[in-house]
Structure 1
Amino acid sequence: MDAPPASPAQAGAFGRPATVEGSFSGDRPPLPARPVPPPPPEALIRAFGPPAPGRGGLQDPPSGRPGRRRTAAGPWWKADARSDPWRDPAAPAGLGAPAVYDEDAQPGPVVVDAQGRRKVRLRDLSIRLMTLAVLGLLLVAVVGGGVGWYLTRTAEETPLLSPGTTLSQVEPGITREPGSVSGIAEQVIPAVVSIEVRVGQAGATGSGVVIDGADGYIVTNNHVVSGADDVEGAEIRAVFSDGSGSAARIVGRDPASDLAVLKVEKPGLVTASLGRSGDVVVGDPVVAIGSPLGLAGTVTSGIVSSLDRPVRLSGEGTDTNAVISAVQTDAPINPGNSGGALVDASGALIGINTAIASTGAGGSIGLGFAIPIDTVKRIAEQLISSGTAVHAALGVNARSVTDGTRDGALVLNVEPGSAAAEAGIREEDIIIAIDDTEVGSSEELVVAVDARAPGDVVTVELVRGGSSQKVQATLDQA
């Protein structure tokens, strides 16, 4: 089929000018002639050049004598052709017998046993056979997974609800041995109350323990209720384990021991059994019961970690300023446990929980402190009797010091007319003992003096000017 003639526009754009003959303009320079390569060396021509007329495609064998032409009976050019690496130059390509390796001299892929039978090894398997095996395994996996999926898809769903279902329970129930935490809690919880304090729009919670159920007396911490004492409109309420509550009045407070006694008008209260501080030893199991974080009736357990631990108490926002010889416990105690019970394995009250050691987060770190029951009993009896409590006083202010070998309480000042002043104690004296009780810090000095009664005569051992001496002091009433 002939091409259509070009349009005038196409001819003007792509056509050959009328004054030009040929494909290119005549004034273009001619192309340079291609250089002719030199002939190859004679040795290369003999080795790789075409054969001479009448000869085959390959050279003659090293012997220089051509073999017989290939026939149907003799495909090789000499009798030993099967062991000769040179082939008949005129023979077409062909495959010989498979190679046989001598396993002793040169191990190969074919291994035969003593009888000449071939051994099959994993590495001898062909890639095709191994591929077929892998594909077979994949096929089995796909078929099995599909069948499982189909069966689960076609299984009928059971009803969502089953009316009248009854679940089995173990029989008999758990056996609780006497003295278990659960038994102690059941015995003591009715004697522990929650203390709710409200002053205006602010409120706080703590704990308390019934120490005289007949007359409705409850002991708690001073720092729990001090903010509501003599404040118009302030309310204090005791909430009991059965959920009932009653308004409470302050009988008396003692900031020097951080104890207070409340009174409620509610008959038939369960009274806690009071133990003795002398019966408590380190390692005894204890149970703490109170209302930490407002959670009434909370029970935690642990052991007595230490005894006679001097601890300074200073409740924020209260007038508490006390140093107690505390019972230390690892039973978890948190804010709100203050004023609650610390009881022994018999359920006897051995302390009133009052403080915790904290790293700053405000929660329990396994170090709690309780006021010993002997101190609680003595102060509570005084508060119930007169509304106030009395303490012995030496009349000095001191701070803890040490010289590297011995600790003591350095006297910073002596109150005029006090027991210390009458005994001749001076500033910068270092008190190291009260009677037979060693003093290693200012807190231990306060505890040692508070353990005595006003009017008691004590022997104060002190260091002055590098020498030790003893003086007699008659304790005052704080």
Structure 2
Amino acid sequence: MSEPEQGNGTPRSGVDDGAHRRLAPRPLNRPAVDPGQQAVFGRPRGVAGAFSADRPGLNGHSSVQLAPPPPEALSTAFGRPRGDDDTLLQRPPVDLNGEPEVEPVFWEGKPAGDAWRDPGASAVIGPPAVTEQPDTGPEPEPRPGPQLSVPELLFGRRVKPMGLVLLMVAALVVGAGGGLVGWLMGRVGNPLTDGGVTLAEVKPGKERPVGSVADIAQRVTPSVVSIEFKGASVAGVGSGVVIDGEGYVLTNDHVVAPAVQDTSAKLTVVFTDGKRAVAQVVGRDSKTDLAVIKVEVDNPTVLQFGDSDELAVGDTVLAIGSPLSLSNTVTEGIVSALHRPVTAAGENGGPQVTYDAIQTDAAINPGNSGGALVDSSGALVGINSSIRTETGGSVGLGFAISGNYARKVSQALIRDGEVKHADMNINVRSASAETAEGAQVQNVPDGGAADAAGIEEGDVITRVGDRMVRNAAELTVAVRDHEIGETVPVVLARQGRELTVQVTLRSD
């Protein structure tokens, strides 16, 4: 039988009887060797092996050093069976009779000369396996798909409404049960708590005896007001006391002075119940830092004057006002000192302020000015005016204008709009020496009360009437304690001698 020819025209050995048996291996094709290349790359003449006979072997030996034989265990496990001299690693399968077993080829059922089974056939790249689609016109625009409902969004598919309701009911039941269990465990876990406790309450109100601080504050605070002034360049808050049912309010002159000097400023009185009323200035006394304003208000609460001369050091007093813009503030203290002369600079270059003060340790702060100082009966015994401090805050040294003197000045301002003070018409300074301590006369104007009484320059005044004089400020308040035209004895020291002269006081 003739052998089939391959695609390259080279005959292949083997048998093809139409049973599609496996082809025999292709015969080796040894091309002729070029003599020039053989001379360059071939073995030297006389050398039959891989190395020259005179070339040193591996590891310095004359022959090639081979690897040591494998262990007997490996040879037994992976070596050829004993007695098998076949040198081929791959042996064809045989059947039970020892005959070679021929497996069917993978192209069974196809012609023997099919190019796909010919290893020597050339490779051809064919067209892509995608077929052309018929032209159906322009593609339609994509439309939005149907929106998901809440069940589809939560569960990924449609559910029955009844199933959703049952699921919600089950969730509520589980949550309520868990809350109840947690509440019970919390009660069991903390034996110190009791959710059903009800604390006892005292039904009757707190007893406030007559004359207590709470009782006095409740009665007095409605008559103490806040005074606000606001203008183009000034603004502030002070305090005042309603002293008459017609709406007259007594306060400090330095509280209303900024509003008087700024024509655009407006004075407003604020009562404890929140009512507000515009105020007008009735009169001012810059020398004693007192002023009276008036508001149109119906039936105000009036604070009555007490007798400040009856006060004693240690008596309880209350200071009421609007410190630091905090209205209706009540502080408690005692009378620290009486007849304490206080001087201060006048407003915007005005005359020096001098008054007879009640010293108290009740807390007085900026904004308390013009407020009330009341005694343990709730009577007005002073008008809070100033503090002495090095820090700017209250340190327990507050001063109030004597209530008796404030009553006299306020009456004069309401009647006449101005007030006149008794004066000796002399200039003095404070003096302290071994022989005398008091007010030393610096100048005696002609025609004045002191000149008519025979007081000379250099005299040291130590007493006016019944009041001792220790400095210049005390002389001023001692003289103003008397009436204009009144004749008072004045004790003075002159050249080491003590003299008493009678001085008829005149107006300032």
TM over 0.5: yes
Which residue in 1 is equivalent to 2:175? none
* Equivalent residues of 2:257, 2:347 under 8 A apart: no
- The answer to whether the aligner puts 1:391 opposite 2:421 as a matched pair is yes
Q: TM-score by structure 1 length?
A: 0.64
Which residue in 2 is equivalent to 1:122? none
Which residue in 1 is equivalent to 2:219? 187
Q: Distance in 2 between matches of 1:472 and 1:5?
A: 149
Query: Secondary structure, in 3 states, of the residue corresponding to 2:502?
Result: strand
CA shift for structure 1 position 169: 3.9
Which residue in 2 is equivalent to 1:198? 230
Unmatched segments (≥5 aa) in structure 1: 7-152
Which letter does structure 2 place at the counterpart of 1:411?
Answer: V
* Equivalent residues of 2:238, 2:367 under 8 A apart: yes
Q: Distance in 2 between matches of 1:316 and 1:340?
A: 19
For 1:363-402, what aligned pairs fall within 5 Å after superposition?
363-402=393-432
CA shift for structure 1 position 204: 1.0
CA shift for structure 1 position 157: 5.6
RMSD: 2.7
- The answer to whether the aligner puts 1:305 opposite 2:365 as a matched pair is no
Instruction: Please say which structure displays the higher CA radius of gyration.
Output: 2
Aligned length: 325
CA shift for structure 1 position 459: 2.1
Q: Distance in 1 between matches of 2:325 and 2:346?
A: 18
* 2:273 equivalent among 237, 242, 261: 242
Unmatched segments (≥5 aa) in structure 2: 1-57, 61-181, 188-193
Which letter does structure 2 place at the counterpart of 1:375?
Answer: Y
CA shift for structure 1 position 428: 1.6
Q: Distance in 1 between matches of 2:502 and 2:454?
A: 9
* Equivalent residues of 2:346, 2:353 under 8 A apart: no
Q: Write out per-residue CA displacement over residues 140-184 of structure 1, whole angstroms, 9 at most, x where no aligned residue.
A: xxxxxxxxxxxxx9x9568xxx99998764443322121111110
Query: Secondary structure, in 3 states, of the residue corresponding to 2:255?
Result: helix
Q: Distance in 2 between matches of 1:473 and 1:304?
A: 33
Report runs of 4+ in structure 1 exceeding 3 Å deviation.
Answer: 155-158, 162-173, 315-320
* 1:354 equivalent among 367, 376, 385: 385
Which residue in 2 is equivalent to 1:132? none
For 1:405-424, what aligned pairs fall within 5 Å after superposition?
406-424=436-454
Which residue in 2 is equivalent to 1:209? 241
Which letter does structure 1 place at the counterpart of 2:414?
Answer: I
Q: Write out per-residue CA displacement over residues 89-148 of structure 1, whole angstroms, 9 at most, x where no aligned residue.
A: xxxxxxxxxxxxxxxxxxxxxxxxxxxxxxxxxxxxxxxxxxxxxxxxxxxxxxxxxxxx
CA shift for structure 1 position 457: 1.4
Aligned CA distance change for structure 1 residues 157 and 316 (closer, same or farther; 3 Å)? farther
CA shift for structure 1 position 185: 0.5
Aligned CA distance change for structure 1 residues 233 and 176 (closer, same or farther; 3 Å)? same
Q: TM-score by structure 2 length?
A: 0.60
Q: Write out per-residue CA displacement over residues 67-96 of structure 1, whole angstroms, 9 at most, x where no aligned residue.
A: xxxxxxxxxxxxxxxxxxxxxxxxxxxxxx
Which residue in 2 is equivalent to 1:446? 476
- The answer to whether the aligner puts 1:261 opposite 2:292 as a matched pair is yes
Which residue in 2 is equivalent to 1:174? 206
Which letter does structure 2 place at the counterpart of 1:350?
Answer: V
* Equivalent residues of 1:223, 1:320 under 8 A apart: no
Q: Distance in 1 between matches of 2:200 and 2:465?
A: 68
* Equivalent residues of 1:411, 1:428 under 8 A apart: yes
Identity of aligned residues (%): 47
For 1:37-436, what aligned pairs fall within 5 Å after superposition?
169-213=201-245, 215-229=246-260, 231-314=262-345, 317=348, 319=350, 321-359=352-390, 361-404=391-434, 406-436=436-466
CA shift for structure 1 position 376: 1.1
* Equivalent residues of 1:286, 1:303 under 8 A apart: yes
For 1:9-48, what aligned pairs fall within 5 Å after superposition?
none
Query: Secondary structure, in 3 states, of the residue corresponding to 1:212?
Result: coil
Which letter does structure 2 place at the counterpart of 1:189?
Answer: T
Q: Distance in 2 between matches of 1:238 and 1:228?
A: 13
* Equivalent residues of 1:313, 1:320 under 8 A apart: no
Aligned CA distance change for structure 1 residues 175 and 312 (closer, same or farther; 3 Å)? same
Q: Distance in 2 between matches of 1:205 and 1:465?
A: 52
Q: Distance in 1 between matches of 2:213 and 2:452?
A: 53
* Equivalent residues of 1:227, 1:318 under 8 A apart: no
Query: Secondary structure, in 3 states, of the residue corresponding to 1:381?
Result: helix
* Equivalent residues of 1:259, 1:379 under 8 A apart: yes
* Equivalent residues of 2:453, 2:502 under 8 A apart: yes
* Equivalent residues of 1:275, 1:373 under 8 A apart: yes
Aligned CA distance change for structure 1 residues 316 and 387 (closer, same or farther; 3 Å)? closer
Which letter does structure 2 place at the counterpart of 1:222?
Answer: D
CA shift for structure 1 position 322: 2.2
Q: Distance in 2 between matches of 1:224 and 1:200?
A: 17
Q: Distance in 2 between matches of 1:295 and 1:332?
A: 13
Query: Secondary structure, in 3 states, of the residue corresponding to 1:232?
Result: coil
* Equivalent residues of 1:432, 1:438 under 8 A apart: yes
Aligned CA distance change for structure 1 residues 233 and 465 (closer, same or farther; 3 Å)? same
* Equivalent residues of 2:324, 2:365 under 8 A apart: yes
